[in-house]
């Protein structure tokens, strides 16, 4: 297991509970603690519960701990299907979403800091700050990354089918693996 201590897992579960989204014990035990092979889980990672993922749609609940970042990636076309389109809806806390645009990323002009050892792998620059009840839809094939505010964030994701193995990360060191639960 890479980085998900019992204390870390409890902090994730506590944020799910703070969101007041009703989850079963089985769902809370099924959390995917994704460290993306970076061994930097506290700074770059994502914690998620998968409700459903079939050939038509996908639904997930995601937690980012305080100031935790999901690395930049995109959802390409795959096997003749258009890449994943996803809607993020903030349920608790605040999340900063960055989506690819024509403007270069200027770390001095955004609201959050970029993970120190990975700065060259963050390029998406259009900032959206989502508070509870706010949402944003990301089109397929657009680079994006997101980071929780100082208290963390709980985010619902509604999307077309999700095939994590086809996601393309800007950081070549990322490996999308499911950690031990």
- Cα separation, 166 vs 176, whole angstroms: 10
| pLDDT per residue as tens digits for the range 58-115 | 999 999 999 999 999 999 998 888 999 999 999 999 999 999 999 999 999 999 999 9
Name the pairing type of β-strands 86-99 and 144-159.
Answer: antiparallel
- Cα separation, 79 vs 13, whole angstroms: 35
- Cα separation, 124 vs 143, whole angstroms: 6
Q: Can you give the residue ranges of every domain in the chain?
A: 6-169
Residues 6+ apart with CB under 8 A from 140: 75, 76, 77, 82, 83, 84, 85, 160
Domain 6-169: CATH class, spelled out: mainly beta
| pLDDT per residue as tens digits for the range 4-36 | 999 999 999 999 999 999 999 999 999 999 999
């Amino acid at each position: 297991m890479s980085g998900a201590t019992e204390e870390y897992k409890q902090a994730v579960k506590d944020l799910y509970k703070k969101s007041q989204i009703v989850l079963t014990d089985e769902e809370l035990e099924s959390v995917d603690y994704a460290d993306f092979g970076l061994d930097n889980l506290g700074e770059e990672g994502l914690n998620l519960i998968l409700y459903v993922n079939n050939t038509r749609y996908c639904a997930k609940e995601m937690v980012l701990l305080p100031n935790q970042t999901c690395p930049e990636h995109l959802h390409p076309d795959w096997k003749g299907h258009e890449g994943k389109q996803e809607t993020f809806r903030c349920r608790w806390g605040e999340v900063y979403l960055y989506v690819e645009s024509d403007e270069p990323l200027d770390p001095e002009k955004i609201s959050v800091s970029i993970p120190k050892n990975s700065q060259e792998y963050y390029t998406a620059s259009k900032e959206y700050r989502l508070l509870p009840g706010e949402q944003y839809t990301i089109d397929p094939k657009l680079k994006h990354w997101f980071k929780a505010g100082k208290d963390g964030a709980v985010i619902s994701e509604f999307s077309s089918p999700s095939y994590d193995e086809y996601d393309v990360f800007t950081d070549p060191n990322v490996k999308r693996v499911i950690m031990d639960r």
